[in-house]
Amino acid sequence: MDNELIGKILDGDKHAYRVLYDKYVDNAIRTATAITRNREFAKDAVQETFIRVYKNLNKYNPEQPFEPWFYRILTNECNRILKKESKITLINNYDQESRLSEESKESLIDLYDSIQSLKDKYRIPLLLKYLKGFKEKEIAEILDMNVNTVKTRLFKGRNMLKKVLQPIEDGVNHHE
Summarize pLDDT for 98-120 with one digit per residue, the tens. 444 556 556 666 676 777 788 88
Residue 91 has pLDDT above 90, yes or no: no
Strands in 7-99 per DSSP E: none
Residue 86 has pLDDT above 50, yes or no: no
Q: Which of 15-24, 27-36, 84-93 has the lowest mean pLDDT?
A: 84-93
The Cα 133–Cα 144 span in angstroms is 17
pTM: 0.62
Mean pLDDT score across all residues of the chain:
80
List all residues 6 or more positions away from 82 whose beta carbon is below 8 Å from its beta carbon: 35, 36, 41, 88, 120
